[in-house]
Amino acid sequence: MFPKTHAILAGLCLVAAAILVPCAFHPRKTVFASSAAAPVYDKDGKMLPPTNYREWIFLTSGIGMNYIPMTSEVQGHAMFDNVFVNPEAYRSFLESGTWPDKTVIVLEARGANSKGSINESGHYQSGGVMDFEVHVKDEG
């Protein structure tokens, strides 16, 4: 009975290898941004903002980030920057390491408050969207 068990086990291993080995060496397919998340333009060529971007992949949030020297009017007015990217482009980026053509990235800015409710320190996002930017990778 022992040799019969070994034969069954060896047969199962061969079947598993026949299934798994081709899958392991199958090249990954790069996913490109679908038309549902691709940029949409009006008749005048102006890009329409995506309406469902808050359902996309949340990449990061920063507070008080700026690419210019801080001036007295900018200081004291901290904002949170939230960054979102369409899911198809994100999946493609994870596979390839580069953002595909027609990747859409949304930056929304919201106010940062420190005084409110029971908060004693730090900042939290408050109010609605104060600024909104949409960026598209367009190789064409």
The 10s digit of each residue's pLDDT in 6-18 is 555 555 545 444 5
Determine the Cα–Cα distance for residues 71 and 75; give it in Å rounded to an integer: 6
Query: What's residue 85's pLDDT?
Result: 96
Mean pLDDT of 95-119: 88
* CA angle, residues 88, 91, 96, in degrees to nearest 5: 120
Q: Supply the pTM of this predicted model.
A: 0.65
* CA angle, residues 108, 86, 112, in degrees to nearest 5: 20
Mean pLDDT of 112-124: 80
Domains in the chain, CATH or no CATH each: 30-136 (3.50.70.20)
Helix spans in 25-140 (H): 87-96
pLDDT in tens, 59-87: 998 887 776 676 544 556 678 899 999 99
Query: What's residue 38's pLDDT?
Result: 76
Mean pLDDT of 18-47: 61
